[in-house]
């Protein structure tokens, strides 16, 4: 069940990245250059973190312990994308003004996701 949810998340986040990229390039009316820069940063981080999320979604064929670790990595990446990229998208489009430290929390979640993915890889090496 978890792998199916990861595949769904991977597909929706990937399609969302393409749609947001098109919107940012063709339809968005940014208030200023800083807002356009925020949007671009959000999109880059969104796209960069799809690759390990896709790898984590492929873990169904791995040992259960490795699959669980990769699923944790995927969940951390999803949370990181939501907190970091999501907040920057909202700020860039003028839909949210917040002083909450959501982007830094998202950045820490993204780093945790990468480290958890490495941990999953270590688990797969130990099994061989």
Q: What is the pLDDT of residues 36-62, one digit of tens each?
A: 999 999 999 998 888 776 766 666 667
Residue-level pLDDT at 79:
93
The overall average pLDDT reported for the chain is 84
19 is a domain residue: no
If phi > 0 it is left, if psi is from -120 to 50 it is alpha, else beta; for residue 30 that is: beta
Rounded CA gap, 40 and 44, in Å? 6
Please tell me the pTM assigned to this model. 0.79
82 is a domain residue: yes
User: Per residue in 73-96, pLDDT tens?
Assistant: 888 989 999 999 999 999 898 888
List the domain range (segments joined by +) for residue 75: 2-9+34-127
Quote the Cα angle for 51-9-113, to 5°.
50
54 is a domain residue: yes
65 is a domain residue: yes
Rounded CA gap, 26 and 53, in Å? 27
78 is a domain residue: yes
Ordered alpha helix ranges (H), the chain: 2-26, 33-48, 50-57, 64-80, 86-92, 102-127
């Amino acid at each position: 069940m978890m792998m199916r949810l990861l595949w769904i998340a991977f597909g929706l986040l990937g399609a969302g990245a393409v749609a947001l990229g098109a919107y940012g390039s063709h339809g968005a009316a940014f208030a200023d250059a800083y807002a356009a820069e925020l949007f671009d940063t959000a999109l880059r981080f969104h796209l960069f973190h799809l690759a390990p999320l896709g790898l984590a979604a492929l873990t169904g064929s791995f040992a259960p312990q490795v699959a669980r670790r990769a699923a944790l990595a995927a969940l951390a990446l999803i949370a990181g994308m939501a907190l970091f990229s999501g907040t920057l998208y909202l700020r860039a489009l003028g839909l949210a003004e917040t002083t909450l430290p959501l982007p830094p929390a998202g950045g820490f979640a993204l780093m945790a996701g990468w480290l958890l993915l490495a941990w999953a890889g270590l688990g797969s090496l130990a099994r061989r």
